[in-house]
Amino acid sequence: MLIPCPHCGTRPVEEFTFLGDATVIRPTSLEPSSMDDWMDYVYLRDNPRGNYAEYVQHSGGCRAWLVVTRNTGTHEVHSAVAAKAMKAKP
Amino acid sequence: MSGFRIARGGLIDRSANLNFKFDGKSFTGHQGDTLASALIANGVHLMGRSFKYHRPRGVISAGASEPNALVELREGARREANTRATIVELYDGLTAQSQNRWPSLENDFLAINSLASSIFVAGFYYKTFMWPKSFWEKIYEPLIRKAAGLGTASKEADPDTYEKAYAHCDLLVIGSGPSGLMAARTAARSGARVILADEGSALGGSLLFENEEIDGTTGSTFAQAVISELASMPNVTLMPRTTIFGWFDGNIFGGLERVNDHVAVPPPFEPRQRYWRVHAKRAVLAAGAEERPLVFGGNDVPGVMLASAMRHYANRYGAAAGKSISVFTNNASAQRTAVDLQAHGINIAAVVDTRKNGKIINVKGGKSVKSVSLADGSHFECDAVAMSGGWSPIVNLMCHRGAKPIWNETIAAFTPPDMGSQFTAIGSASGKMLLSECLRGGIAAGTFKGKTPPTPKCRDEAFAIQPFWWVKESTGKAFIDYQNDATAKDLPLANREGYGHVELAKRYTTTGMATDQGKLGNVNAIAILAEAAGKSISEMGTTTFRPMYTPVSFGAFAGPFTGHHFQPVRKTPLHEWCVEQGAVFVETGLWMRSSWFPKAGEDWLTSASREVKATRANVGLCDVSTLGKIDIQGKDAGTFLDKIYCNTFSTLSIGKARYGLMLREDGVVFDDGTTSRLADDHYLMTTTTANAARVMSHIEFCHQALWPEMDVQYVSVTEQWAQMAIAGPKSRATLQKIVDSFTLNDETTPYLVAKDITILGGLTARLFRISFSGEHAYELAVPADHGNMVARAIMQAGQEFGIVPYGVEALSIMRIEKGHVAGGELNGTTTAGDLGLGKMMSTKKDFIGRMMATREGMVDAARQCVVGIKPVDKTMKIRSGGHLLNQNDKPSMANDQGYICSVAWSPMLNMWLGLALLSNGRARHGEVVKVFDGLRGHHYLGEICDPVHFDPKNERLHA
C-alpha cells in the first residue's frame, strides 16, 4: 500500500503507524453524566467495509499525524490530509 | 527407464558436459539442461515418492507447477529441500537427493501404506487418529510426521547472502513468451521504462519449445531477435530467473530473482537470491497457461507426463521421455506432441481422444509405464503416456488482491478477472489460444499512445476442447492432486460428508495444498466436486489465490537483516567510558546499557551489591542517557503538559523539576518521569527508556489531532545529551570540584532544582537535583560529544571520596529498596491509585485519562495495589512472578490475591526484597501471605509491608 503524505509525497506503508478511527471526537465535558460519551470515544469503533478515515502517523518520515481515508475492501487510498488541518472545531 | 537423449536438436550445448549426482549415482548432462531433463535423458523416470502412499513418482511437468519431482538440492549448509527438478538448472558438480523414502527411492519400505489406503481417504487426519485421545501426541502425530512430510531442511546456518532491491517502471511484463515479448518490445520502442521478468533461465517462454513460425523464421529465432533488441535498449531491464510471486496494493509486485541458484557456490560478494519490490505504473500478465492432467487409473506412474512437457523436453532439451508413446487428450493441442515426437523418430503407440470417445482406463506398470488399457478393451504397449486435459490460464497474480477468476465455457478454463488498466492479462494467460491473438494482444498492451504497430505474421493452429474430467471406469487409483495423494474419489466423498464447499473440500481432502498449491490439479478437482454437488463449475468457483505464486525462501525474505544486522544497535554517548570502566552491557530494546561494572572475580550480584554499598556510603556515577528527553517549547507549553500529565505543570516554577505521571485515555498509567521548566515557555520532559518513542508519538498526536490550536513545539533530544546520575552522600562534594564559579548548597541547588550551568571552565551543562536511588543525588546533562570526557572528569573528582561507576542492576536494587515504581509496576494494568500515586491526579483540569480513571472498577478498593514484600524466612530468595494467596487458600484464579512484580537482593538490609501488587494491599501491611511459585514448583510465606523498605523517612535524600 502506498500513502500520499502531504509533506513527503507518496511513500510505502511500512513508514507509517496506524492508530485507528479518525472520526471519533474527544468529549469536552468532565461531568459524570458524560461518561457514556467517553466510553464511546475510548472503546466504540465501527468496522466498516468501504471507506474508513484513520489516524496514521508518518513515523518513519515527517512524523506528522495524518487522516488517511482508504477503502477497507479494496485498500484503495483516497486521501491523506494532515490531522492538524482536518481537526473539526467543537 | 526408457528415456534417452535425442541425437540432435534442442537448445542445449552438447559440447559442454556437466557431471552431477542424483542419490549418490553419477550422471552427465549438458549446459542448458534442467535437472529433470538431464535425468530423463539418462533414462531416470523415478524421481520421488508420494506423500501418503509412497508411490513411485516421476516428473510430470517441465516447469514451476511440478508436484512430484521434488528433491533436496545441494548438501550440508546449502541443502535446500523441496526444490523442483524441473526448474533446477544443471551445473557441473550438482548433487541432489530424492525425498520421502526409506531406505531408498527404489525400495521404499513405507510403500506398504498403499495397501492400507482405505484409511488414507479424505479427512483421514480427522477420522483415523481421533481415538484414543491420549495416543495423538505420543504415537499418531510422531508416526505421521515421520511417514509423511517432504524434504528435510538443513540444520546448519545458511552461508550465502541475500539482498533486497526496489525497481520502478512504466510497464512490468510478467512472462516472456510471444505476448510478453511483443508487449515489452512495443512499449520499449515508444521509450517507456520496461521490466521484462520471467521465471525461466532463458527468455522466450513457449517459443523455446513450441514449433512455431513467425515472420518467416522459427519461433525461437524470432524470440532471440526480439530479446537482443530489448537487451540493447537502455530503458529496458531484462530479468530472467525472476519469479513475480505476488501482486500487492498500489500495483506493487514482489519478485524473487535466483541470482546464483544455477551455480554451486555464489561468486564472492554476490547474493544467492534477490528479493525485488517492483513499483509498476502498469503491468501485464503474460504468464501463459498451464496444461492440465487427465484423471484416470495410474495417471501417476513414472512416464505419464503432460503432453506439452513431453514435447518441451524433446524440442528444447533433446530429451525423449520414451521410445513408444501413447497420447491421451480431450483437446486439439496434444496433436502437437504426437507430431513433434514423431519428427524426432519416436514411435506413437496410440492417440486416444475423448472427443472420439477414446479413454485410457488404466496405466499398467509400477515404477515405469508398461502399457495402457482402453475402455474399448484394447491394450497398447508403450513406455510413456502424454496427457492433456486442457489449458488453464495462469491467473494467480490477478487474483492476489481478492478477485476471483471467471469460468469460460468455450475453452473450459478459468480466465482472469478484469482488474482495470493498471494490470491486464494478455496472451494465453487471458485465455487466448491462438498465436496470432497472443502477438496482437501483446502489441496492444505495449502501445501507450498513437497507432498500434502491425502484428508479425504467423501460422495459427485451431484450438478445440470438449471438457472431460475423470475416467470413472478406472480401477486403479486416479490422482487429482499428486503432491497430496488426493484421488478423484476423495472429492465426491468430501461432498457426501458435508464438505462440498470448495474451500472446505480443499481442507478436507488436502487437494491444492503444499508447495505446488494445486497448480495442476485444482480445476480438475473443482469440476469433479461440482459434478458431485450437482452444481456448475462456475457456481462451485475456485479456492482463494494468495501470494506466493511459488515458494520463496526465508533467506530472501530476511535479506541482509540477519545476525548482527537484524536490528540497529544504539550506544549511549557514554558507551566508551562504560567500556573503559569494564561494564557488562545488557540489551534494552535497541540500547546497550551498562548493567554492572565487575572487578576481577565478581559475579553480577557481588558487583551490583558492591556498587550499591559504595554509592550509598560515598558516591556513584551512573549512565542514564537512555531516558527519553523531549524538548517542549511554546506559549502554551505549560497548558499542553497539563493535558498530557495527570498532575499540573503550568504552575511549576522556572528552574524547578517535578515528577510527572501520564495516563492513557482509558485511565491506566502510561509513563512517568521528571519534567523541568527551563524558561517561561520552555520545558524539558524525561520519559522512561522503554516508552521514549511512544511518548513522543503520543505528544505529537495530542497536539496535532486533539489540540492543534495550542502554540507548542516539541522535539526529541534523547541523543543530543549525555546524562549522568551522581548519587550518594559525597555527590555534592564531587560535583563541587567540576562546576564553575558557584557553591553547591541547599540555597543554590535545593532539591528539585533544574538549571543551566557551566562546568570545567565553560562547558555547557544542565544540572538537576533529583534522585531515583533515594540518596542525595544529582543528574548532570552535557552535550553528547562531551559525555565521555565529563564522566572521566567526575571519576577523577570523586576519586578521593571513593567514587564507583554503577549500572542498571545497582540502580534497580536501589529503586526497589526505596519502593520506587518502574517497568514491573508500570505494566499497562495499573492505575495511579494502584501505584500509590492517586493524589497526583488533578481535579482542577482536563487531562488524558481523567474521566476514564474515575470509573467504578478503576477506583475499587479491592484493586491490586503496590506493596512491599519480604520472605518470612529472611535467608530465602524470592522471585518475581510468584502469586499471592491467603495463607490457607489453594492456588486458583478465584483465590488469587496478586503477584510479585520486582525483586532484588538488598545489600543494605541483607535479604531479598520485592514489590508486589496485592488486592486491597495498602490495608494489609504486616499480613503474612502464601507465595505460590508454580513455575518453580514451591510455595513459601511472605510478609506484606510498606513498599519503602529502606530509609522510610527519606532522610538521606535531603542529607
pLDDT by residue (tens digit) across B179-233?
A: 999 999 999 999 999 999 999 999 999 999 999 999 999 999 999 999 999 999 9
Q: Tell me what pLDDT residue B152 has.
A: 84
Which residues in chain B have their CB less than 8 angstroms from residue A30's CB? 846, 850-851
Instruction: Tell whether B711 lies on the interface with A, counting CB pairs under 8 A.
Output: no
Q: What's the N-to-C CA distance of chain A in angstroms?
A: 33
Q: Tell me what pLDDT residue A89 has.
A: 44
Numbered residues of chain A with Cβ closer than 8 Å to any chain B Cβ = 1-2, 12-13, 17, 19, 22, 26-28, 30, 32, 34-35, 38, 41-43, 55, 57, 59, 63-65, 74-75, 82-84, 87
**Complex confidence, ipTM:** 0.97
B148 and B11: one domain? Answer: yes
Give the gyration radius of chain A's Cα atoms: 14
B165 and B286: one domain? Answer: yes
Q: Tell me what pLDDT residue B718 has.
A: 97
CA dihedral B65→B66→B71→B75, nearest 10 degrees, is -30
Which residues in chain B have their CB less than 8 angstroms from residue A38's CB? 851-852
The candidate with the shortest Cα–Cα distance to B197, out of B139, B86, B138, B274, is B274
B151 and B174: one domain? Answer: no
- Between these two residues, B53 and B288, which has the higher pLDDT value? B288
What distance in Å separates the CA atoms of residue B374 and residue B359, rounded to the nearest whole number?
6
What distance in Å separates the CA atoms of residue B66 and residue B70, rounded to the nearest whole number?
8
Angle at B830 between CA A28 and CA B594, to 5 degrees: 115
CATH number at residue B41: 3.10.20.440
* B414 occurs within a structural domain: yes
pTM (predicted TM-score): 0.89
**CB contact (8 A) between residue A75 and residue B854:** no
Q: How many CB pairs under 8 A join A and B?
A: 58
pLDDT tens, residue by residue, B454-466 = 999 999 999 999 9
Alpha helices in B162-271 (DSSP H): 178-189, 219-231
pLDDT tens, residue by residue, B64-100 = 999 999 999 999 999 999 999 999 999 999 999 998 7
C-beta of residue B369 within 8 angstroms of C-beta of residue B476: no
B828 alpha carbon, distance to own chain's centre: 28
Which residues in chain B have their CB less than 8 angstroms from residue A43's CB? 666
Q: Tell me what pLDDT residue A85 has.
A: 87
Instruction: Identify the weakest region by mean pLDDT among A20-29, B106-115, B917-926.
Output: B106-115
B278 and B375: one domain? Answer: no
**CB contact (8 A) between residue A87 and residue B708:** yes
Of B665, B697, B701, the CB nearest to A42: B665
pLDDT tens, residue by residue, B793-839 = 999 999 999 999 999 999 999 999 999 999 999 999 999 999 999 99
In percent, how much of chain B has pLDDT > 90? Answer: 91
* B140 occurs within a structural domain: yes
**CB contact (8 A) between residue B700 and residue A87:** no
B174 lies in which domain range? 160-290+392-446
Is residue B102 over pLDDT 90?
A: no
Is residue B727 over pLDDT 60?
A: yes
**CB contact (8 A) between residue B248 and residue A1:** yes
Q: Tell me what pLDDT residue B110 has.
A: 67
CATH number at residue B248: 3.50.50.60
Which residues in chain A have their CB less than 8 angstroms from residue B665's CB? 41-42
Q: Bridge-partner residues for A79, per DSSP?
A: A69
Confidence of residue A87 (pLDDT cuts 50, 70, 90): low
The candidate with the shortest Cα–Cα distance to B908, out of B541, B703, B604, B613, is B613
Average pLDDT over chain B, rounded to an integer: 95
Q: What's the N-to-C CA distance of chain B in angstroms?
A: 95
C-alpha atoms less than 13 angstroms from C-alpha of B466 in its C-beta half-sphere: 8
In percent, how much of chain B has pLDDT > 70? Answer: 95
* B240 occurs within a structural domain: yes
Of B248, B700, B854, the CB nearest to A63: B700
* B605 occurs within a structural domain: no
**CB contact (8 A) between residue B855 and residue A30:** no
Looking at residue B824, its amino acid is: G
Confidence of residue B117 (pLDDT cuts 50, 70, 90): low
B297 and B202: one domain? Answer: no
B115 and B134: one domain? Answer: yes
B30 and B3: one domain? Answer: yes
* B260 occurs within a structural domain: yes
Instruction: Return the biggest CA–CA distance within chain B.
Output: 114
Instruction: Tell whether B418 lies on the interface with A, counting CB pairs under 8 A.
Output: no
Grid cell, residue B489, equals 474419489
Number of domains in chain B: 6
B194 and B150: one domain? Answer: no
B22 and B115: one domain? Answer: yes
Which residues in chain B have their CB less than 8 angstroms from residue A34's CB? 851
CATH number at residue B873: 2.40.30.110
| Residues 6 or more apart whose Cβ sits within 8 Å of residue A13 | A1, A2, A3, B249
Instruction: Tell whether B856 lies on the interface with A, counting CB pairs under 8 A.
Output: no
Instruction: Tell whether B249 lies on the interface with A, counting CB pairs under 8 A.
Output: yes
CA distance A2 to chain B (A): 6
B313 and B437: one domain? Answer: no
Confidence of residue A90 (pLDDT cuts 50, 70, 90): very low
Confidence of residue B141 (pLDDT cuts 50, 70, 90): low
What distance in Å separates the CA atoms of residue B832 and residue B110, rounded to the nearest whole number?
65
3-state secondary structure of B207: helix
Which residues in chain A have their CB less than 8 angstroms from residue B850's CB? 30
Which of B278, B399, B850, B851 should be substituted to probe chain A, the one whose Cβ sees the most A Cβ atoms within 10 Å?
A: B851
Instruction: Tell whether B666 lies on the interface with A, counting CB pairs under 8 A.
Output: yes
Which of A3, A34, A35, A38 should be substituted to probe chain B, the one whose Cβ sees the most B Cβ atoms within 10 Å?
A: A38
B255 and B272: one domain? Answer: yes
pLDDT tens, residue by residue, B896-948 = 999 999 999 999 999 999 999 999 999 999 999 999 999 999 999 999 999 99
What distance in Å separates the CA atoms of residue B934 and residue A63, rounded to the nearest whole number?
45
Confidence of residue B254 (pLDDT cuts 50, 70, 90): very high
Cβ atoms within 10 Å, residue B31: 16
* B402 occurs within a structural domain: yes
Is residue B604 over pLDDT 90?
A: yes
Domain boundaries, chain A: 2-86
Q: Which CATH architecture has domain A2-86?
A: 2-Layer Sandwich (3.30)
pLDDT tens, residue by residue, B27-74 = 999 999 999 999 999 999 999 888 888 899 999 999 999 999 999 999
The candidate with the shortest Cα–Cα distance to B511, out of B488, B495, B533, B530, is B488
pLDDT tens, residue by residue, B808-820 = 999 999 999 999 9
The per-residue DSSP string of B462-495 comes to: ---B----B-TT--S--EEETTTTEETTHHHHHH
Is residue B484 over pLDDT 60?
A: yes
Is residue A88 over pLDDT 90?
A: no
* B561 occurs within a structural domain: no
**CB contact (8 A) between residue B846 and residue A28:** yes
Instruction: Tell whether B850 lies on the interface with A, counting CB pairs under 8 A.
Output: yes
Instruction: Tell whether B701 lies on the interface with A, counting CB pairs under 8 A.
Output: yes
Average pLDDT over chain A, rounded to an integer: 93
CA distance A14 to chain B (A): 13
Is residue B1 over pLDDT 50?
A: no
**CB contact (8 A) between residue B705 and residue A64:** no
Give Cα separations from B169 to A9, A77, B251, B399, B748 (angstroms): 18, 21, 11, 22, 66
B408 and B298: one domain? Answer: no
* B492 occurs within a structural domain: yes
CATH number at residue B678: 3.30.70.1400
Is residue B529 over pLDDT 70?
A: yes
**CB contact (8 A) between residue A32 and residue B852:** no
The candidate with the shortest Cα–Cα distance to B493, out of B243, B828, B123, B137, is B123
Q: Tell me what pLDDT residue A74 has.
A: 86
Which residues in chain A have their CB less than 8 angstroms from residue B701's CB? 19, 55, 57, 65, 83
